[in-house]
């Protein structure tokens, strides 16, 4: 009987944690949807928003910012990460990404995956739809067998970098 009760409590704790986590995720996705409203995308007309959660709970948002010189455009995720880093934040818990696509979850481009990975492979990425539904992944899942800052600590050549 005692065992049954303990199992019950454990289940309640787990359910509470899951509900708390879901509420946090929904909140962050909500922030990314808000950020999407500021997207500057006159060329692609493809709006993207991002909301980045840092270790102390501060959230930095971002949107895509395009340019008449197309290759200079910046993605929403990189805008948010650059905003955070430029204000002294490097420790991230999660990033939520949103777009206007109702049929599929927005998925970060390869460049943004590498940009996220710079700050670790073990943090969450929420790929969302406009209705707030989402898929949860880790940076490391999105960019397996990645190259990161640690790899630069390996052996380097001592040749002069000249022709």
Residues at the interface with ligand THU (CB under 6 A): 41, 44, 46, 48, 64, 66, 73, 75-77, 97, 106, 108-109, 112
Q: What are phi and psi of 101, to 5 degrees?
A: -75, 115
Closer of 109 and 135 to ligand THU (Cβ): 109
Closer of 1 and 72 to ligand THU (Cβ): 72
Residue 112, CA atoms < 13 Å, CB-side half-sphere: 24
CB of 119 to ligand THU, least distance (A): 16
CB of 44 to ligand THU, least distance (A): 4
Closer of 53 and 116 to ligand THU (Cβ): 116
Strands (E), 11-147: 48-54, 59-63, 92-99, 124-128, 134-138
CB of 81 to ligand THU, least distance (A): 12
Q: Which residues are catalytic?
A: 77
Closer of 33 and 97 to ligand THU (Cβ): 97
The length of the chain is 163
Consecutive H or E run containing 82: helix 76-85
Strands (E), 56-141: 59-63, 92-99, 124-128, 134-138
CB of 105 to ligand THU, least distance (A): 11
Is residue 67 within 8 A of residue 73, CB to CB? The reply is: yes
């Amino acid at each position: 009987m005692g065992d049954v009760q303990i199992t019950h409590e454990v289940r309640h704790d787990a359910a509470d944690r899951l509900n708390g986590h879901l509420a946090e995720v929904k909140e962050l996705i909500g922030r990314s949807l808000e950020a999407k409203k500021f997207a500057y995308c006159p060329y692609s007309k493809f709006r993207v928003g991002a909301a980045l959660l840092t270790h102390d709970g501060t959230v930095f948002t971002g949107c895509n910012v395009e340019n008449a010189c197309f290759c200079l455009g910046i993605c929403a995720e990189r805008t948010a990460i650059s905003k955070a880093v430029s204000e002294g934040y490097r420790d991230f818990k999660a990033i939520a990404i949103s777009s206007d696509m109702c049929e599929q979850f927005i998925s970060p481009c390869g460049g943004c995956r590498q940009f996220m990975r710079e700050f670790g492979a073990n943090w969450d990425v929420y790929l969302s739809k406009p209705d707030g539904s989402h898929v949860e992944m880790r940076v490391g899942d999105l960019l397996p067998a990645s190259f990161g800052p640690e790899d630069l600590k390996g052996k380097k050549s001592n040749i002069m970098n000249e022709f």
